Amino acid sequence: MKFFLDTANVDEITELASTGLVDGITTNPSLIAASGRNMIEVIKEITGLVDGPVSAEVTATDYDNMVAEGRLLKQIAKNVAVKVPLTFDGLKACKTLADEGTSVNVTLCFSATQALLAAKAGATFISPFAGRLDDIGGVGMELISDIIEVYSNYDFKTEVLVASVRGPLHVLQAARMGADIATVPAAVIKALYKHPLTDKGLEAFISDWEKTGQSILEK
């Protein structure tokens, strides 16, 4: 499973990309606003920090302007994926941009039928929002499972990008379902590797090692 980092914060991206575990980045207008940066400038900088896709979202809501914005965002760097919302105009824009060879991430997906249409429109990625469904009493991961089942029935190339991930359990469930990608906030990535027994065990190993007076690097 690929991991995308869900942030427009270049410090977080720089720190976590150094692990080699970050396969791409997703942003949205709220994340750009939180960065306090100019969108074009920050997307350009991010595209230089990772090799994988960097999602940059259009903010127009009508077809003509979504396509115009998408074409402009695509010019920033070759690894930009244009993000469009899952609306009537967004699906049309997806089809147009995809037909031009642009990688398109269709976002704000909350049903499997929406995901089906995005795949038919040529989306490279579909972004179902697990956490936001949980927030209103739904079961977000059931949506992911439904989309994977529907896509597996056909020859769709669209990758399932699990979004609105709130914690390690979402990541584990996504991996068990075979989702292609999870886009994860930095805090959740860190929560994936932290374990109190790892810390406790390491403390004991180091303490015992120090008693030996040895050093592996000592000549």
Tokens of 118: 């995005």
Cα torsion 71, 73, 79, 83: sign = negative
Of 112 and 181, the one with the shorter C-beta distance to ligand E4P is 181
Among the options 83, 95, 200, 211, which is catalytic? Answer: 83
164-203: b (≥16 Cβ within 10 Å) or e? bbbebebbebbeebebbbbbbbbebbeeeeeeeeeeeeee
Under the binding rule (CB under 6 A), the answer on residue 132 touching ligand E4P is yes
Q: Does 12 contact ligand E4P by CB under 6 A?
A: no
Count CA within 13 A, CB hemisphere, residue 206: 6
Site for ligand E4P in 141-180 (CB under 6 A): 163-164
Should residue 124 be labelled a site residue for ligand E4P when binding is judged by CB under 6 A? no
The answer to whether residue 129 forms part of the interface with ligand E4P (CB under 6 A) is yes
Shortest Å, Cβ 174 to ligand E4P = 12
Specify the pairing of strand 24-26 against strand 2-6. Answer: parallel
Q: Does 103 bind ligand E4P (CB under 6 A)?
A: no
Residue 99 burial (CB count, 10 A): 11
* 4: Cβ contacts below 8 Å, ≥ 6 apart: 22, 23, 24, 25, 26, 52, 53, 55, 161, 181, 182, 183, 184
Where does this chain touch ligand E4P (CB under 6 A) — which range of 115-123, 127-135, 171-179, 190-198? 127-135
Residue nearest to ligand E4P (CB): 164
83 is catalytic: yes
Instruction: State how far the Cα of 129 lies from the Cα of 107, in Å rounded to an integer.
Output: 8
Helix (H) or strand (E) holding 105: strand 104-109
Considering the complex, state which of residue 127 and residue 158 has its C-beta at the smaller distance from ligand E4P: 127
Q: What single-letter DSSP state applies at residue 49?
A: H
Q: If binding is defined by CB under 6 A, does position 107 make contact with ligand E4P?
A: yes
Tell me whether residue 67 or residue 84 sits nearer to ligand E4P (CB atom).
Answer: 84
Q: Which of residues 39-78 bind ligand E4P (CB under 6 A)?
A: none
Does 26 engage in binding with ligand E4P (CB under 6 A)?
A: yes
Q: Tell me the catalytic residues.
A: 83
Which residues are at the interface with ligand E4P (CB under 6 A)? 6, 26, 28, 107, 127, 129, 131-132, 163-164, 183
